Structure 1
Amino acid sequence: MSLRIRATRWLLGSAAWIVAILLLVLPLVSLFGEALRHGLGAALATLDDPDALSAIELSLLVVAICVPVNTVCGIFAAYLLTKYEFSGRGVILVLIELPLSVSPVVAGLVWVLLFGGRGWFGPMLTHNHVQITFALPGILLATLFVTFPFVVRTVMPVLDARGREGEEAATMLGAGFWDIFLRVTLPGIGWALLSGVLLCAARALGEFGAVSVVSGHIPGVTETVPLRIETLYNDYQGVAAFTLAALLALASGLAVGLRGMLEWQHRATGAPRGNAA
């Protein structure tokens, strides 16, 4: 390897580390530093706040519901789009990509326009005493919308790379759809599926914009952890806000880090690699 190539590689590597430190490491260090500014005891006292505990419970509930729903729907959407050719396939692909391009605030506003008190279905819902917006159902709808693409876009490249030979062979041997799906398709996409699930969970846990619009910011009722952080920060409760932010960053970071480890392991073993949305 020539000296020029080695120098270029060193410069590019150094530039990458500098950017990572400035944009990723330093903000996280400052975040944890602010959370622990008055000591660990003051940070842990944040968890004595009933509204903070309620926000954590609500966020975990949203993740527990949205991730399984989007996992099941994402698997079948990816299977349909990779194994079959049909009219309107391109339109469905565009719609799946839509949550990645549209502002989360717009995504939340859509649900308010549909199910809010003055929305299209608002009067009917009010008449039947059904609450969508400013309640858990609205938070779930908004989160489901913004997190739907992650499983689909992570699984699709792996299904594409595997082709149809395994399914076709199983069909010729007399296996039914569910036998093929459970014994051939799912085992082949296991790592990619887990990767998409982790990304979906991280996004669901940290979603702010769409949830902020539909939740109503009711402390102890419809505030998730990101919304509670905003409330605390606006009330000049810096230590509490940064403590919750640090917990959120830690949880999301663990999910994304685990996903990165899975991808690295399968890249090292030569397995087909999917690209997340």
Structure 2
Amino acid sequence: MAEVVLDEPATGAPPASPPVPQGERATRGRRTVRWVALAYVAVLVLVPLGVITWRAFEPGLAAFWDAISSEQAVTAFRLTLEVALVSVLLGTLFGVGLGLLLVRFRFPGRRLLGVLADLPIAVSPIVAGLALVLVYGRNGWFGPALESAGIQVVYAVPGMILATTFVSLPLVLREVVPVLEEAGTDPEQAARVLGAGSWTTFRRITLPTLRPALTYGVVLALARAVGEFGAVAVVSGNVSGSGQTQTVTLVIAERITQLEPGAFPLAFVLILVTVAALLVAARLRRKDVSA
């Protein structure tokens, strides 16, 4: 009987490595993605926030308190709160109304209107402020008529509210529209068949459906409004002292530009407000998903 000789591996050739199990490859991929995400957050978020926090408290607690309790800072905080609250209220009303119009009705130009509603997200806020100046300024379309009626929009608080509403409205609209599309019109039609009027249907059916998403959008819009700078800087006039039209962001920019102390404490307070708003929004979103 012939002897069968098995081929032996060539001398010096490295042994074949065993294949990596599928689960181990998935684990390695998750770890890689996790480290990339952590590096992104650390470099672009945590490090800048840490530097601002350190610079805010570096001179001491007394200097920190003096910076945020000065007359200019207190006036700026009050004006920022007023502009943010009014703009979020207007953005909520227009956002819900525009969402209902886009979802519940069919009309020519509906798609174009939806694109224009998202325009503030794509356009620079400075461009939005410039557009408001061209429309409501002294030489704008409606500026002379408004000034003759004793109403000043640009370089005054009304212009700041319009600019902030412009940039924050899409945050409400983007939360409302998907919920309306998913809910459909069956509950509302059933309510009308049972004799409910339009206002009763909206209050009893539509608004409870929108409440979680609407609350989430309002919180995000408030965080956006508090930190708005570009559009407000164009339309505010940036006046300090009597008749101040400086929000906190404008005061921070002024102090940094003029090398005045107190910019970092104000920035730290804005960060706290924004982070608190985002935490509330995340908690609301988590409750909405779990429900």
**TM-score, scaled relative to structure 1:** 0.92
Quote the residue 1:275 is aligned against: none
Which residue type is aligned with residue 124 of structure 2?
S
| Corresponding residue of 1:272 | none
Distance 1:231 1:9, change over 3 A: same
**Corresponding residue for residue 277 of structure 2:** 255
Corresponding residue to 1:145 among 166, 169, 172: 166
| Contact preservation (8 Å) 2:68, 2:265 | no
Equivalent residue for 1:72?
93
State the shift of 1:118 in Å: 2.7
Structure 2 distance, partners of 1:267, 1:123, is 50
Determine helix, strand or coil for the equivalent of 2:152.
Answer: coil
Distance in 1, Cα, partners of 2:259 & 2:208: 50
1:134 alignment counterpart = 155
Identity %: 39
Q: Indicate the residue corresponding to 1:38 in structure 2.
A: 59
Aligned equivalent of 1:242: 264
Greater C-alpha radius of gyration: 2
Using CA pairs below 8 Å that are at least 6 residues apart, which structure has the higher relative contact order? 1
Equivalent residue number for residue 268 of structure 1: 290
**When the two structures are superposed, what TM-score results if normalisation uses the length of structure 2?**
0.88
Change in Cα spacing, 1:214 to 1:252, as seen in structure 2 (3 Å) is same
Q: Which structure 2 residues correspond to residues 157-196 of structure 1 after superposition, within 5 A? A: 157-196=178-217
Please give the alpha-carbon distance, in whole angstroms, between the structure 1 residues aligned to 2:223 and 2:114: 23
d(CA) in 2 for partners of 1:186, 1:127: 40
The CA deviation at 1:127 is: 3.7
Aligned to 1:228: 251
Structure number having the greater helix percentage: 1
Cα distance, 1:30 vs structure 2? 0.9
In the alignment, the residues of structure 1 paired with residue 246 and residue 147 of structure 2 have an alpha-carbon distance, to the nearest angstrom, of 22
Give the residue type in structure 2 aligned to 1:256.
L
1:134 is paired with a residue whose SS is coil
Contact 2:92 2:218 in 1 (8 A): yes
Matched, 1:118 2:139: yes
Q: Provide the alpha-carbon RMSD of the alignment.
A: 1.4
Shift of 1:211: 0.5
Determine if contact 2:192/2:201 at 8 Å carries over to the other structure: yes
Q: Once the 2 structures are TM-superposed, how far is the Cα of residue 188 of structure 1 from its aligned partner?
A: 1.1
Using the alignment, how far apart are the partners of 2:219 and 2:226 within structure 1? 11
Q: Provide runs of 4+ in structure 1 moved above 6 Å.
A: none
Cα shift readout 1:104-136 (whole Å, capped 9, x = no counterpart):
111101111122223333333444443221111
Q: CA deviation at 1:247?
A: 0.6
Q: What's 2:24 paired with?
A: 3
Q: Secondary structure at the match of 2:196?
A: coil
Note the C-alpha offset of 1:8: 0.7
Aligned length: 268
Alignment check: 8 A CA contact 2:91 2:169 kept: yes
Cα distance in structure 2, aligned partners of 1:187 and 1:65: 23
Secondary structure, counterpart of 2:118 in structure 1: helix
Q: Deviations over 1:227-272 (max 9, x none)?
A: 000011112124x101101111110111122111211222233xxx
